[in-house]
């Protein structure tokens, strides 16, 4: 059997730095090695993996670029390094008698009921466990879980990600705010196809990229062009836009709850034929030791 060289976390850090800098000199400076040292580390890792992770480039600024195998390897190497850092931190906190904590990511628009449940969660078998909440935009939460910044996250309509597992927590239709006198104002449930001739209003893409793209694709299917789509930052602004352009604003359950307090424009549920939003909890997957 051919002997494979053993790897250390410093080797992984050098490879990750090279993937980030795409330049041997800058990567070497980042991890405190010489340029030949990074070259030797890369050769060692590639022998261990058994395939080429980086291709050489003739560009002055970019001396390498990762192969498909290299991108996959670097993604898992980042996870391994993150877990190693967390293991060290947990060991030190245990030695010092500190409480352990779980960091749960959530977006500013997460369902308040779910957030309240997380805040009040108690685990009798872990009396010293503390749950801390970290707020990020929904599009940033998967990366926070992958990197180890969050232990898990409550995400609305999470994108498919092979590095994460998802568990559905709840499912609820979006609410639609319509102007007074709209032809659908008397319908108890509204399908998106009923609004094909009405301007659409929803939150900026940065708030939730996957959800935004889903709405945009559905609008395109119904023949609604970009000129008839309006973007807002929050539920209050959405309701103001409804009055201004006579459009239909799509709100999450939380946004709908806030809108009810303002009592501005009729509020209706989007029907089963519409795009439904749901919240999911994305914990980190099990990972393999870098030396295996």
3 state SS for the chain: CCCCCCCCHHHHHHHHHHHHHCCHHHHHHHHCCCHHHHHHHHHHHHHHHCCCCEEECCCCCCCEEECHHHHHHHHHHHHHHHHHHHHHHHHHHHHCCCCEEEEEEECCCCCHHHHHHHHHCCCCCCCCEEEEEEECCHHHHHHHHHHCCCCEEEEECCCCCCCECCEEEEEEECEEECCCCCCCCCCCCECHHHHCCCCEEEECHHHCHHHHHHHHHHHHHCCCCHHHEEEECCHHHHHHHHHHHCCEEEECHHHHHHHHHHCCCCEEEECCCCCEEEEEECCECCCCCCCC
Q: Give the model's pLDDT for residue 189.
A: 77
pLDDT tens for residues 164-208?
888 887 777 777 888 888 888 777 777 778 888 888 888 888 777
Q: Give the model's pLDDT for residue 106.
A: 86
Q: Give the model's pLDDT for residue 123.
A: 67
Lowest mean pLDDT among 141-145, 190-194, 245-249: 190-194
Q: Give the model's pLDDT for residue 40.
A: 94
pLDDT tens for residues 12-33?
999 999 998 889 999 999 999 9
What are phi and psi for residue 287, nearest 5 degrees?
A: -130, 160
Q: Which domains does the chain have, with CATH numbers?
A: 9-79 (1.10.10.10), 98-170 (3.40.190.10), 171-276 (3.40.190.10)
Residue 271 has pLDDT above 50, yes or no: no
Taking the mean position of all CA atoms in its chain, how far away is CA 211? 11
Q: Give the model's pLDDT for residue 283.
A: 37
pLDDT tens for residues 104-119?
888 877 777 777 777 7
């Amino acid at each position: 059997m051919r002997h494979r060289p053993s790897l250390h976390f410093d080797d992984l850090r050098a490879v990750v730095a090279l993937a980030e800098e795409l330049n041997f000199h800058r990567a070497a400076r980042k991890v405190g090695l010489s340029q030949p040292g990074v070259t030797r580390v890369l050769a060692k890792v590639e022998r261990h993996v058994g395939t080429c992770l980086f291709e050489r480039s003739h560009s002055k600024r970019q001396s390498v670029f990762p192969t498909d195998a290299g991108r996959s390897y670097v993604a898992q190497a980042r996870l391994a390094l993150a877990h190693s850092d967390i293991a060290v931190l947990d060991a030190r906190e245990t030695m010092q008698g500190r409480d352990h904590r779980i960091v749960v990511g959530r977006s500013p628009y997460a369902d308040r009921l779910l957030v309240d449940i997380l805040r009040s969660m108690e685990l009798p078998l872990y009396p010293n466990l503390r749950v801390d909440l970290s707020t990020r935009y929904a599009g940033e939460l998967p990366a926070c879980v992958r990197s180890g910044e969050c232990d898990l996250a409550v995400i609305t309509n999470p994108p498919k990600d092979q590095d994460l597992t998802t568990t559905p927590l709840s499912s609820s239709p979006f609410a639609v705010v319509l102007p007074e006198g709209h032809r659908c104002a008397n319908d108890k449930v509204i399908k998106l196809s009923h609004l094909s001739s009405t301007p659409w209003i929803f939150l900026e893409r940065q708030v939730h990229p996957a959800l935004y793209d889903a709405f945009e694709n559905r609008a395109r299917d119904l023949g609604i062009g970009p000129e008839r789509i309006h973007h807002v930052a929050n539920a209050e602004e959405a309701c103001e836009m409804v009055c201004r352009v006579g459009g239909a604003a799509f709100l999450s359950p939380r946004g709908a709850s806030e809108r009810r307090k303002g009592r501005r424009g009729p509020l209706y549920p989007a029907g089963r034929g519409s795009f439904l939003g749901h919240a999911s909890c994305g914990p980190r997957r099990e990972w393999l030791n870098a030396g295996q």
